[in-house]
Structure 1
Amino acid sequence: MTSDENRAPRRWLGAACAALVIALGCGGDTTHTPAPLQAVPKLNDGPSVEDSAPVDQAALAQRVAEINERVAALDRGDGAAVQAALQEHAPGLREVVEKSEDASVRAGASLLLGNLHEWNGDMRAAVSFYSQAKDLIPEDPEVHQLLAIALASDRQYSRAARTQKFYVDQTPYDLEGHLLHGQLWVQAGDNDEAVKAYAAYEVARQLLLDCLSGQTTEGGDYVKPAEERRICALALAPAIDNGTAVALASVLQREPELAVRQAVIETMGTQRLTSFKEPLDALAAQEKDAETLEVIKWALAEIARDPVETRQDPVPADLAEQVGKTAAESDKDGATDVAAGVKTDAKATDAKATDATSPAADAKATDATSSADAKAADAKATAETKPAE
């Protein structure tokens, strides 16, 4: 991840990237006729010294920020509205790509162009613009994942998996990213790489569980501080399997810190497993903390709204044995690195969890089916009508 110093000048871009990532693979009506493919502006080092008129750089950045807000509010299932937005905003965004001196501003314009082309049903153009954004800010893992999902939608599975590898290397605690990485290799037909990717998921999942639930000292104190345990609990949300479910229920019974318990309950509500209903009902009957009780009620309402039966394992059954062996043989010296990564990126993880509780963000998450499994499945469905790479 980039440092706070490097991230500060492009805070609006970080929000745009998050919105664009969650928008990928959401489907929507793409039966309308796509707008003609336009050439992607050639990547260069900024405005030419031959430009006669001075360019207002602040105005270019403001333009991208304003268009980002309008695109975020766009009904991407409305084909006519998407085409109109593309025709309205593309010229201004292209000018930003050509004339802005700030790489992050140019990347933001490229991301928005990619998003509009994607919603308009033109995945090749979307991939081109997302690739351009990646080249402009190559250190940003979110942009790599954005491109990976777009590539998968265009049936470029091998390239998508290689692109996603950068994301998981930079965010080793992101279970959703690991699952997507494994699924992309499966779709690419490379089971050896898929086994490695799923093994990395299993290692990360176990490290997060260790951070959350165990490793107490002889005196009974937790090795990890409460804030780290809270973050690990939220990071476990994509791990929808029996083993993780049992561990979460166990933690809930003995965790002394309210903030950690609330995070565990929030993860239960996010997963919506029917097996969580009984322990949550029992906890609700005796919980005295009003804030925790509200989180319990929310989790129970989520389970009732869209219950999910407990799944054995997100890893494909035919790869499970080899994945288990590979994970067991993995170098556990990386455990401290993953824990440090969780702690270092706590703000990003917490921001995602906070966003998920807001009405607008919740609507986007529901529409986008934000789990890695849903993203990959939707990308595969989108690709079925297109020629393979």
Structure 2
Amino acid sequence: PLPLTQDEIPLEGHAVEARLYAEDPAKSFFPSTGHLVRLRMPQNRPEIRTDMGVRKGDEVTMFYDPMIGKIIAHGADRHQAIGALANFLRQMEVAGPKTNLRFLERVMSSEAFRAAHLDTGFIDRHIEELVPKGPAPAEVIALAALGHLLARDERQCAQQLETAEPHSPWAANDAFVLGGHRREVLRLECDGDTLMVGVEPSGEGWRIQPEGGEALVASGTLSADGALLATVGTRRLRAGFVAQAKGFVLVHEGASYGFDPHDALEADDAAEGGTGAVTAPMPGKVIQVAVKPGDRVKKGSALVVLEAMKMEQTLSAASDGVVASVNAGEGDQVDGGAVLVTFEEE
């Protein structure tokens, strides 16, 4: 027999659970794969329990469920439990594959969710609030520019120390220039958007002004483990800065943003106009091919349907064009990044 009866088991407080998935809310929650380069959680939170299925450095593959883990918060009542969970999610840092972390935090912070106005249509009704579209916020751009500048200065200092004249004034990273003041424009690529950001030294930090936006003064420190502690305007902010082979990932308040600083010394190989190709966003199985070579397609036309991790994704044409080749057939298993459809040059 069981040691306790049902009447002897107390029910105290309230608990809320969120499931962290490797998926992209901006693409209808399509599963995401990749190397988990960062997984950092707040410590010493007795009201929080985490059940993680992966660790930093693990690979999220197409062969298993894309759930990263579960986060459970306990409180005296529902409102307290939701608040504790929202605060924990906001301070988590996850980078690598796309995740629903920021989406979960927005759900916990939603007035409708907190008021328990819930049914199966909740996400569809509030999708613009939960998955907002548009460029990165001004604070995120300022943090990205600041992190890039701090990391660049650190690299330059390290390189200079290895030279024959490590203390040469010509290697200084200060604001001194002849005949004026130091100013430059950073070109940052972020999720398909090109951001032109003017930066110039200001006191112990930088005056950062995105094109068409207001200037913000930002200063801070970047530690070896990627912790970016900054003051932007009058706000004290914390972010994760993860350097990669090409660009970096900035993690702030549960959201991750991929930035690729443009190097003026590198050739720009990006094709423009009607040329280009459609590639598989992840490994998967081709279950439908809707075009053949010679077909003229309009922007948004369905080209290929790919199945991966129990989900189907329709790959569409990014612009008008004529199909040059189709490199996969129905039933084919393809790798992530595989070129599926190419277009004729016009």
Q: Does the TM-score normalized on the shorter chain lie above 0.5?
A: no
Q: Which has the larger radius of gyration?
A: 2
Higher RCO by CA contacts (8 Å cutoff, separation 6 or greater): 1
> Between Structure 1 and Structure 2, which shows a larger proportion of strand residues?
2
TM-score (norm 2): 0.30
TM-score (norm 1): 0.27
